[in-house]
Each structure stands twice: as C-alpha cells, then as structure tokens.
C-alpha cells in the first residue's frame, strides 16, 4: 500500500507525539501532584507547629514530655483545633522514640528511623501517601482510609535546633480531589497543545506533500513523454541511418546509369563522328559524311543537354515553399509540354534540404506521370499537414501495372523515398496495381 508523504507524517507524527505527550503528561502531572501535596504539607506543618511546638519545648532538655504537656497535646488532638484536620498524631524524639501519640500504647516505644523521619530531622517537611506497613502504623492501617502522612521538624524556640519530629496523618480525600482536577487540566492542556502542533505540522506537510505529489506526477509525465520522444528519435535515427546507407547505394547506381547513358548515347555518336572525320582526312569519305557528322554531333549535344537538364537544380535559396513548388510545376510544363492542374497553398519550408526534396519530388513524380503513365490529366497539390507539409501528384494513367517492370520501380522513386526518409518524412504510393481503381497517386509528408 502506497502512503503519501502527508499520510506517512501523520502516522509517524501521531506515534511520536503520543509518546511525547505521554511522557510530558506523566512528568507534568507528577510534578503538579508533588507540588500540591508539598504545599498542603507545608501549610499544615506551619499550622501544627504553631500549636505543638510550644508544648514540645521540653524535648530540648529531656527525652520525654511531661504528663501535663501530654494532656494538653491530647486535648488539642482529640477536641481542639487539630481534631478536625487530623486522624492521628505522634511526636518522635531524634533517637526514634515515641514521646507522644494519639494512641497511648505507642508512647515510650522505639522504632527504626524511616527515610521520611531522617529527612524531617534534617529540617525538611516530608509528605507522602504511605502504605503504613510498620508496627507503628497499626491504627492508621486498620482505619481503611487513605491518609496523607506528614513529617514536620520541631525546633527549639531559643536555638532553632531540631529537638523532635511531629508525625501526623490527615484524610487524603480532599487532596486527591484537588490532585485529580489538576491532573485532568494538565492532561487537557498537554493534549490540546499536542493536537494543535500535530494539526499545524500536518497542514504544513500536507501542503508540501501535495506540491511534491504534483511535481512527481509532472515529472512522471515528462519522463514518459521524454521516453516516447527517445523511442521515436531512436526509430527515426535508425530509419535515417538505413536511408543514408541505401542512398549511398542508389548514388552508385545513379553514377553507373549516367555513365552508361553517356557511353551508350553521346559517346557512341561522337565516336561515329570521329570515324567519319578520320575517313574524310584519309580521302575515303562519302558524299553524305558532312551531314552524318553534323547530325551525330547535334544528337550527342542534345542527349548531353537532356542529361544535364535532369541533373541541374535551379536556385532555390530565398524562395518560399509555395514558390519552390510552382517553379517545379512550371519547369515540367515548359520542358514536357504537358498541362498540369495545380493547387498550391502557402506552406512553410524552412531548410534548404526540404526545399530540394519538395522540388525533386514534384520533378520526379510529374516526369513519371508524363513519360510512363500515359496520363491525360495530371494534378499537383501542396498543402500544410499537421506541423509539416503534404505534397501529392495524381494522374489517370495506366499505373505501375503497365510499366516495363512493375516489380522493380526505377531509381527515381527509390532514391526519392530515401531522400524523404532521411528528412524524417514518408512517401505513400497508391497505383492501379495495389488498390487504386485507375491511375497513380503519390503523396509525400515532410515534418
């Protein structure tokens, strides 16, 4: 399953923040509870000290409290101001003996000093919810109540020396209620702050995640588009490489054909003229030699001009695509005497190679329609096509099926096809032998 960045952050952030909230909440509530208990203990110890300390000053001189002082203390614990606040009360000597207790059976007994007692002897007020496991806590333990145990030092009024420890227990119900309210408020504040931080961070990350996701989709689209372009370019490069190789072969065939045409045509005629001139020089001429030589030389010149006409390309630099097409059509009409119907639109042909290709296409296809097809009607069209151009020559002639060799097109169309392919275009031929009802239609598409 795929999660977005925002979802991943939400899950991870929720886990981290809940863990952090738990730790912080426990720490905060524990400290608040300790502070509340300690605050209650300090205020209670101050109140107790104001009543108990004057009655316990005798501990500065002896290890026991006088019976009269014990009676006053017992009255204060059972019926006086301490009776309403405390469940039980004890006064310890520094040696661990019980000098006074609301439970008379404990007076005079000695017990081991507990850590809370030692801390109180060091001058601290210690308060805690004790489990009351010792023998000195039998009464408190049997009460079944939750009691707060407080140890407060008793000092000598003259010197400030600690002469004993007051240990008293008070019911913890009201303190527990205060602690519970404080704990609830603390958890509420911590949870609210945590949820607020999580919500704020989620909004920030969600916006970033959405932007990253959009950029990722755009990059995926671009990568896919570039992959398609790369595949198309690879295919085009392979096609161009193949076209270039075939073009080399065709050029060699062109050169051989030109060589053969020159050898079989003008060279033979000029050779015949040379023979007759040699015969005249030796005095073996005939009466018609002058006419024969003149006609041979004229025919040779005519054939050479015909070959040059096919090879020569007019100046196309600076011409628009429409002008190039019209020049090719007019040149064919002038030399062949054929009538060509034309429909040439304004087209953009930027490169010189494309202009040459357009001119050669019209030159070759119009020549084929006139010389080989025996057509009575020829139409040439040039128009925009997508981001490129389309050129088409149609005739109503016999098609390739009436050509001298229908299975082997001439060098002209083959070379033209390779020229078009080298520029990234394509050529389509529909003739009477492969689908057309009659005539031939040749189309060229150039990017």
**DSSP state letters, 168-179:** EEEE-HHHHHHH
- The string of DSSP codes covering 162-205 is EEEEEEEEEE-HHHHHHHHHHHHHHHHHHHHHHHHHHHHHHHHH
For residue 401, give the DSSP letter: G
Helix (H) or strand (E) holding 158: none
Nearest to 399 by CA among 413, 415, 419: 413
Percent over 90 (pLDDT), the chain? 9
Helix-strand-coil split of the chain, %, nearest 5: 60, 15, 25
CB 247 within 8 A of CB 417: no
What pLDDT shows up at residue 398? Answer: 78
Cα–Cα distance measured from residue 278 to residue 283, given in angstroms and rounded to the nearest whole number:
9
Cα–Cα distance measured from residue 198 to residue 201, given in angstroms and rounded to the nearest whole number:
5
For the chain, what is the largest distance between any 2 Cα atoms, rounded to a whole number of angstroms? 185
Model pLDDT for residues 356-368, shown as the tens digit of each residue: 888 889 988 888 8
Name the 3-class secondary structure at 351: coil
Lowest mean pLDDT among 79-88, 185-194, 292-301: 79-88
Cα–Cα distance measured from residue 250 to residue 133, given in angstroms and rounded to the nearest whole number:
113
Decide the pairing of beta strands 440-446 and 426-431: antiparallel
Q: Which residues, including other chains, have CB under 8 Å from residue 145's CB and lie 6 or more apart?
A: 87, 171, 172
- Burial zone of 60 (CB within 10 Å; 0-12 exposed, 13-18 middle, 19+ buried): middle
Cα-Cα-Cα-Cα dihedral of 265, 266, 272, 274, to 10°?
-160
Cα–Cα distance measured from residue 324 to residue 336, given in angstroms and rounded to the nearest whole number:
18
Long-range contacts (CB closer than 8 Å, 24 or more residues apart) made by 408-417: 410/368, 411/250, 411/253, 411/254, 411/257, 412/364, 412/367, 412/368, 413/364, 413/368, 413/442, 414/246, 414/250, 415/247, 415/250, 415/254, 416/360, 416/361, 416/364, 416/365
Cα–Cα distance measured from residue 120 to residue 166, given in angstroms and rounded to the nearest whole number:
9
The yes-or-no verdict on residue 50 having pLDDT over 80 is no
What pLDDT shows up at residue 298? Answer: 80
Cα–Cα distance measured from residue 141 to residue 134, given in angstroms and rounded to the nearest whole number:
9
Percent over 70 (pLDDT), the chain? 88
Mean pLDDT across 392-420: 68
CB 217 within 8 A of CB 55: no
Lowest mean pLDDT among 126-135, 262-271, 395-404: 395-404
The yes-or-no verdict on residue 17 having pLDDT over 90 is no
pLDDT band at 404 (very low <50, low <70, confident <90, very high): very low
What pLDDT shows up at residue 392? Answer: 94
Is the Cα torsion angle 84, 85, 90, 91 positive or negative in sign?
negative
Nearest to 170 by CA among 282, 66, 41: 41
Model pLDDT for residues 199-247, shown as the tens digit of each residue: 887 788 778 778 888 888 899 999 999 999 999 888 888 887 777 777 7
pLDDT band at 444 (very low <50, low <70, confident <90, very high): very high
Cα–Cα distance measured from residue 243 to residue 357, given in angstroms and rounded to the nearest whole number:
14
The yes-or-no verdict on residue 435 having pLDDT over 60 is no
What pLDDT shows up at residue 82? Answer: 66
Cα–Cα distance measured from residue 424 to residue 237, given in angstroms and rounded to the nearest whole number:
9
Lowest mean pLDDT among 83-92, 219-228, 260-269: 260-269
CB 162 within 8 A of CB 154: yes
Q: Number of helices and strands (H, E) in the chain? A: 10, 10
pTM for this predicted structure: 0.41
Which one has a higher pLDDT value, 331 or 310?
Answer: 331
Which one has a higher pLDDT value, 406 or 90?
Answer: 90
CB 321 within 8 A of CB 382: yes
Q: Which residues, including other chains, have CB under 8 Å from residue 70's CB and lie 6 or more apart?
A: 100, 107
Residue 52: count other Cβ atoms within 10 Å of its Cβ: 23
Lowest mean pLDDT among 33-37, 80-84, 86-90, 112-116: 80-84
pLDDT band at 405 (very low <50, low <70, confident <90, very high): very low
Mean pLDDT across 140-146: 74
């Amino acid at each position: 399953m795929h999660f977005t960045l925002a979802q991943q952050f939400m899950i991870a952030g929720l886990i981290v923040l809940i863990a952090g909230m738990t730790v912080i909440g426990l720490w905060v509530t524990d400290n608040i509870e300790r502070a509340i208990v300690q605050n209650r203990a300090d205020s209670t110890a101050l109140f107790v000290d104001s009543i108990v300390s004057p009655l316990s000053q005798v501990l500065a001189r002896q290890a026991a409290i006088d019976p009269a002082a014990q009676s006053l203390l017992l009255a204060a614990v059972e019926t006086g101001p301490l009776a309403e606040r405390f469940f039980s009360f004890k006064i310890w000597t520094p040696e661990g003996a019980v000098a006074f207790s609301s439970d008379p059976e404990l007076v005079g007994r000695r017990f081991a000093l507990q850590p809370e007692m030692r801390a109180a002897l060091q001058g601290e007020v210690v308060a805690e919810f004790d489990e009351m496991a010792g023998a000195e806590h039998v009464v408190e333990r049997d009460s079944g109540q939750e009691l707060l145990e407080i140890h407060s030092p008793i000092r000598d009024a003259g010197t400030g020396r600690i002469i004993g420890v007051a240990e008293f227990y008070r019911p913890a119900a009201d303190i527990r209620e205060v602690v519970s309210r404080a704990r609830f408020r603390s958890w509420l504040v911590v949870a609210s702050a945590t949820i607020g931080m999580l919500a704020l961070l989620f909004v920030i990350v969600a916006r970033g995640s959405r932007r990253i996701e959009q950029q990722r989709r755009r990059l995926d689209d671009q990568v896919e588009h570039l992959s398609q372009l790369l595949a198309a370019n690879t295919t085009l490069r392979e096609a161009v490489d193949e076209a270039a190789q075939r073009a080399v072969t065709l050029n060699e065939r062109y050169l051989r054909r030109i060589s053969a045409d020159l050898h079989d045509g003008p060279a033979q005629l000029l050779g015949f003229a040379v023979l007759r001139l040699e015969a005249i020089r030796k005095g073996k001429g005939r009466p018609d030699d002058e006419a024969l030589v003149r006609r041979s030389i004229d025919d040779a010149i005519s054939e050479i001009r015909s070959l040059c006409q096919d090879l020569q390309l007019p100046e196309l630099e600076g011409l628009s695509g429409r002008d190039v097409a019209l020049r090719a059509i007019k040149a064919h009409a002038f030399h062949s005497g054929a009538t060509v119907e034309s429909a040439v639109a304004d087209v953009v042909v930027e490169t010189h190679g494309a202009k040459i290709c357009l001119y050669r296409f019209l030159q070759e296809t119009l020549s084929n329609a006139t010389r080989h097809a025996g057509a009575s009607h020829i139409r040439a069209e040039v128009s925009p096509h997508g981001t490129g151009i389309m050129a088409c020559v149609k005739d109503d002639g016999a098609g390739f099926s009436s050509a001298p060799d229908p299975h082997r097109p001439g060098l002209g169309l083959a070379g033209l096809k390779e020229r078009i392919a080298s520029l990234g275009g394509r050529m389509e031929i529909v003739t009477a032998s492969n689908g057309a009802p009659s005539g031939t239609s040749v189309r060229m598409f150039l990017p």
